[in-house]
Amino acid sequence: MFSQFDLTNVSAAAQKDITELQNRINAYLLGQEDAERFRHYRLTRGVYGQRQVGVQMYRTKIPFGKLTARQLERIAQVSEKYTNGNLHLTTRQNIQLHYIKLTDAPAVSAELEQVAVTAREACGNTVRNITGSAKAGIDPQEPFDISPYAHAAFTYFLRNPICQDMGRKVKIAFSSGESDSAYTYFHDFGFIPRIKNLHGQQVRGFKVVIGGGLGAQSMVAQTAYEFLETDKIIPFLEGALRVFDRYGEREKRMKARLKFLIQKVGLPHFLELVEQEQIALKNHSVPVAVIPDELPALPPPPDAHLPPHLEEITQTRPYQLWLSTNVFEQKQPGYYGIHIRVPLGNLHALQAYAIAQMVSDYAHNDLRITVNQGLLLRFVPQNALPWVYYRLQQINLAQPGFDTIVDITACPGTDTCALGVTNSTGLAAQLEEVIKEEYPELLTETGIKIKISGCMNSCGQHMAANIGFHGSSIKKNALVIPAMQIVLGGGVDVEGKGFIAEKIVKIPTKRVPDALRILLNDYEQHGNNTYFNDYFYQQGKNYFYNLLKPLADIATTNDGITFDWGQNTPYVQEIGVGECAGVSLDVVGAIINDAQEKITLAQDALAQDALADSIYHSYTAFVIGAKALLLSKEVHCNTHAGIISDFQTHYVNTGEFTLPNNNFEELALQINRHEPSAQFAKQYLHHAAGFVNAAINTRTQQLALANGQDKLVIDNYYKA
């Protein structure tokens, strides 16, 4: 039960995380902690329940996908030691490890933290991994390198009190230019770099978009600022997260994203609320150190004289095709970026070792995971290109067609995910074969992207695809047939405009290859060499519905449609419960204990002179304490703002709870009316601790009247 781990060379903050995770796992296994409370906790440490019973998916958090060779090697070592040896690259530029035992999670964390790879807040209702264009810093079209700004945001919000227990997750992306290669348009917050002439000087800033999102109700992000100076983006994010934490929905999970809050209150009012938070922020300006563009330290280039077998390789069509689709010249003359296409994002540990060695031999020690589940090597000299290709061939990763129609994105689906409805990976492999065998002329086609998700939640980003699919099912009497919902018209056009795909028709998964053939043949006949989305919108949604509708006919099932891809038995639908925001089971007394924990955290932060952190912990103690007492009266607690208002109504106004000025809102919301000074932090903590103590006394009186019987709470509104 008690795993051993080495904390040598692990930061103090990470040591605390790992030790706490170990203690919480032990308490859970000993029956001292409720399963739902433990699940809610472990998610914020990157430990996510898998479809298979008894094992976990472990998700790392790698800001904008940046890895060193040493970090990649360590992740590969961990995958061999604790899992099946597979590294799964995700669309959020993370690496996931599957089939990890719960008791091994602290040891995995310790071994990864030794090389500065964290899993903190990789899952759960937190700020998730911050993504960014993989080409940032070497992109010939970029105004400036966004990498330092993305990293600064990652560092600022990691372990930040304001985003540890929000109503839902928040996703942030930085694109390297107007082409929006990081898909900012479907993120909660997106940043696109711009340079503006102010007072005769070239000033860096960002276009800021907010409130985008995929999933069942996809939305395109709205423009909050056409230009926001770089030192203002983190204060803006902090204020916006505070507003989301306070006003965001928590009871209705499907309405708990930022996009719905902005839809509800309107963008202008949301920005007003953000402005109201500015006085309470830790920092009103967060400058980011800009490192002048210069060539990094690189390994010696290989001998320019190639051996005969490499000379022959460079003359082949596969090599030339690879050069045209996977290699580009950087903005630094003489150096090249090499994209590595990783089918389905699955990289074996042995392949990872080989890539890490390639980086050491030929490139800068800064490789990137791409948003389409691939890898990017940077600063490769021209005379090393044949060598890299040759060595990629040896590990079966020299496939051409990076980011083309054949480079299909797919989430794990029913392979490992509890929410998976159908097998996205098996279908992706089949569609790739169709394209390579029947449409080889499309291997260089970058204007059509295919993306597949195993369910509607869009982990495979199907709603951002020109041709997308998400897992579903079709019922025929007692028979359940595995199906895919076809969506068309999503993605980013050549001018950087983002589109959300439109639903067309649902068909059995076994017929999806035929659907792709129909679409590609029709596009060839009627597309007139236009961008696929232009062709889609010119023809209209009904045109494609009628085109594909015959495939939806399930009058006959003799073509194998009762089987899913990769299955040798008839389909059985097995959908579990997603863990990022599941139901909770608790008692009111335990919730009050949570409030006490926040007081302790506030005291610790104050002792370390982390004034803003202390203040936010005190604020959360107010909210949680009030929530506990409201739940004892079965009052729904779906937002922080609602809790504050309802506590005034149900406790203060009735005289059941006495406050110095009988105004709970005024007491709790002092947080956004004062700068985070030492005097205010101490005073606010004093009031919060007094409130929590009074809440405990009130609850003690309630229990006395109820003969000591604590109240059970089973509902999503616990999460507020």
Strand partners, 335: 381
What stretch(es) of the chain map to CATH 3.30.413.10? 138-280, 409-552
Among 28-32, 72-76, 135-139, 571-575, the minimum mean pLDDT is found in 571-575
Q: What is the mean pLDDT of residues 546-568?
A: 89
Q: What is the pLDDT of residue 412?
A: 86
Helix axes 233-247, 267-276, angle to 10 degrees: 110
| Residue 3: per-residue pLDDT | 60
pLDDT score of 292: 76
Task: Say whether pLDDT at 713 is over 80.
Answer: no
In eight-state DSSP terms, residue 339 is E
Between the alpha carbon of residue 121 and those of residues 48, 94, 125, the distances in Å are 11, 12, 8
Better-predicted residue by pLDDT, 527 or 303: 527
Distances (CA, A) of 136 to 171, 233, 284, 297: 19, 18, 27, 18
pLDDT tens digits for range 642-663:
999 999 999 999 999 999 889 9
Predicted confidence (pLDDT) per residue in 49-76, tens digit: 888 888 999 999 999 999 999 999 999 9
Q: How confident is the model at residue 706 (pLDDT cuts 50, 70, 90)?
A: confident
Question: Are 449 and 491 contacting, i.e. CB atoms less than 8 angstroms apart?
Answer: yes
pLDDT exceeds cutoff 90 at 518: yes
Looking at domain 12-113, which of 1.20.1250.20, 2.60.120.330, 1.10.150.120, 3.90.480.20 is its CATH number? 3.90.480.20
- Whether residue 203 contacts residue 195, with contact meaning beta carbons closer than 8 Å, is answered with yes
Sign of the Cα pseudo-torsion (717, 644, 657, 668, in order): positive
Minimum mean pLDDT range among 139-153, 186-200, 581-595: 581-595
Tens digit of each residue's pLDDT (9 = 90 or more) over 275-323:
999 999 999 999 998 877 778 888 887 877 788 888 888 889 999 999 9
% of the chain at pLDDT higher than 70: 96
409-552 CATH, one of 1.10.10.10, 3.20.20.70, 1.10.940.10, 3.30.413.10: 3.30.413.10
Q: What is the mean pLDDT of residues 497-501?
A: 94
Mean pLDDT of the chain: 91
Looking at residues 81-87, what average pLDDT do you find?
96
Measured between alpha carbons, how far is residue 409 from residues 115, 374, 432, 449, 467 in Å? 29, 10, 11, 8, 11
Q: Which of 516, 597, 507 is nearest to 552 (CA)?
A: 507
Does position 584 have pLDDT exceeding 50, yes or no? no
Looking at residue 221, the DSSP 8-state letter turns out to be: P
Q: Which of 239, 163, 247 is nearest to 638 (CA)?
A: 247
pLDDT band at 718 (very low <50, low <70, confident <90, very high): very low
Closest CA to 613 of 179, 162, 64, 108: 162
What DSSP designation does 4 have? -
Question: Where do the CATH 3.90.480.20 domains begin and end in the chain?
Answer: 12-113, 308-394
Q: Is 683 exposed, middle or buried (0-12, 13-18, 19+ CB in 10 A)?
A: middle
Segment 401-414 shows an average pLDDT of 93
Give the Cα separation of 172 and 102 in Å (integer): 29
DSSP 268-303: HHHHHHHHHTGGG-S-S----PPPPP-PPP-PPPPP
pLDDT of residue 374: 98
pLDDT of 585: 42
Question: What is the per-residue pLDDT across 1-50, written as a single tens digit (0 to 9) for each?
Answer: 456 788 999 999 999 999 999 999 999 999 988 887 888 899 999 999 88
Tokens 């839902």 belong to residue? 168
CA distance 495 to 123: 33
Report the predicted TM-score, pTM, of the whole model to 2 decimal places.
0.93
- The Cα 291–Cα 282 span in angstroms is 25
pLDDT band at 421 (very low <50, low <70, confident <90, very high): confident
Q: Let me know how many helices (H) and strands (E) the chain has, helices first.
A: 21, 24
**pLDDT confidence of residue 581:** 44
632 falls in which pLDDT band (50, 70, 90)?
confident
Count CB-CB contacts under 10 A for residue 6: 10
Nearest one of 217, 216, 264, 220 to 638, comparing CA atoms: 264
CA-wise closest residue to 99 among 111, 88, 114: 88
Q: Which of 381-395, 457-471, 553-567 has the lowest mean pLDDT?
A: 553-567
Query: 3-class SS at 17?
Result: helix
d(CA 476, CA 468): 24
Q: How confident is the model at residue 344 (pLDDT cuts 50, 70, 90)?
A: very high
135 and 176 Cβ atoms separated by less than 8 Å: yes
Q: Please write the tens of the pLDDT for every residue from 655-694.
A: 999 998 899 999 999 998 899 999 999 999 999 999 999 9
Confidence of residue 583 (pLDDT cuts 50, 70, 90): very low
Topology of domain 138-280, CATH: Sulfite Reductase Hemoprotein; domain 1 (3.30.413)
Q: Is a pLDDT exceeding 60 seen at residue 714?
A: no
Quick one: average pLDDT of 365-393? 96
Query: 671-675 contacts: CB < 8 A, separation 24 or more?
Result: 671/280, 671/615, 671/616, 671/618, 671/619, 672/242, 672/276, 672/277, 672/279, 672/280, 673/279, 673/280, 674/279, 674/280, 675/279, 675/280
CATH class of the domain whose range is 585-719: mainly alpha
The CATH fold of domain 308-394? Sulfite Reductase Hemoprotein; domain 2 (3.90.480)
Average pLDDT over residues 368-386: 96
- At residue 586, does pLDDT exceed 70? no
Cβ atoms within 10 Å, residue 46? 28
**Structure-token pair, residue 693:** 């103590």
Every domain range in the chain assigned CATH 1.20.120.330: 585-719
35/42 Cα distance (integer angstroms): 10
